Amino acid sequence: MAHYQVILSYDGTEFHGFQRQGNERTVQLEVENALRRMGWEGRSILASGRTDTGVHASGQVITFDLNWAHSVETLQRALTAHLPVDIGVKAASVVDETFHPRFDALSRTYRYQIYFQPFRDPLRDRYAWRLWPKPQSGLPHEAAALFMGSHDFRSFGSPMKPGGNTIRVVTGSDWSETPEGWTYEITANAFLYHMVRRIVYMQILTAMQKMAVTDLQKCLEQSTPSLPGMAPANGLVLYSVEYANENGCRKDLENLDKQDNCNETSK
């Protein structure tokens, strides 16, 4: 029996989120069904976090115990063969049995994609929020900077459990522009339910000059209720999860293939 870590990517369009919900089609349900076809007898896989309905991932981390008599590479191929085409296995490795993909994570990074076009584009709409007209004020860098540091984000999301902690530490928050549109990237130790989509929505309101940056700052600093609404799920991607190994080296899962010798263990 070994403790395996697997990095998943998936198109969230046809899923009711990551977490298993009865017979609803979720990423967790599909992965566990695939593992059972490979002889897995566990009750539940563990994951770095839950993505909502329609949200995508390029760096979701899961773990499970499995009696597997073959190589890790063979495990990756076998799991891929048993999964539907909208879930991919980016990497697989054996990790310390105490490693937990959620509790041992140092940070998570999400990306949100926006494009500007007067008419819908079915080839882009699965993965980006279409807006028109394009805000003339440009990228909302000032608004993005407000979220840096430790804040109570109760105005922008809710904890998974009633009464849970709503303080989060954001270490990265910025926008970039490409010929395809705008991309927002945010990194934090953890996120509240719907937090990223509300943050994106509020920043876009400032870019469209429908809300003052000072009002956004007040929502954040005084934990006052934010305006209703949030960005659509289809533009959001769980991009990566970062861990530290026993030697304290930080490891971005985006570069996992380049750092195979830096095995991840629990903190």
Share of the chain above pLDDT 90, in %: 86
Q: CB under 8 Å to 81, separation ≥6 — which residues?
A: none
Assess contact for 97 and 266: CB atoms under 8 A. no
What is the spatial distance between Cα 239 and Cα 232, in angstroms, rounded to a whole number? 17
- pLDDT over threshold 80, residue 265: no
Q: Which of 201, 202, 199 is nearest to 231 (CA)?
A: 201
The CATH number of 107-238, from 3.40.50.10540, 3.30.390.50, 3.90.550.10, 3.30.70.660, is 3.30.70.660
Domain residue spans of the chain: 2-104, 107-238
pTM for the model stands at: 0.90
The DSSP result for 192-235, as a single string, is -BTHHHHHHHHHHHHHTTSS-HHHHHHHHHS-PPPPS----GGG
Give the CATH fold of the 2-104 domain. Answer: Alpha-Beta Plaits (3.30.70)
Instruction: Respond yes or no: is residue 215 known to be catalytic.
Output: no
Q: DSSP letter for 7, please.
A: E
Q: In the structure encoding, which two tokens stand for residue 204, read together?
A: 């876009």
CA atoms within 13 Å, Cβ hemisphere of 90: 19
- pLDDT over threshold 50, residue 266: no
The two domains 2-104 and 107-238 share their CATH topology (first three levels equal): yes
Q: DSSP letter for 257, please.
A: G
Which band of pLDDT confidence, cut at 50, 70 and 90, is reported for residue 227?
confident
What is the spatial distance between Cα 176 and Cα 152, in angstroms, rounded to a whole number? 26
Q: Write the single-letter amino acid at 166.
A: T
- pLDDT over threshold 60, residue 26: yes
Residue of 11, 52, 86, 121 marked active site: 52
Tens digits of residue pLDDT in 194-222: 999 999 999 999 999 999 999 999 999 98
What is the Cα 225 distance to its own chain's centre? Answer: 24
Polymer length of the chain: 267
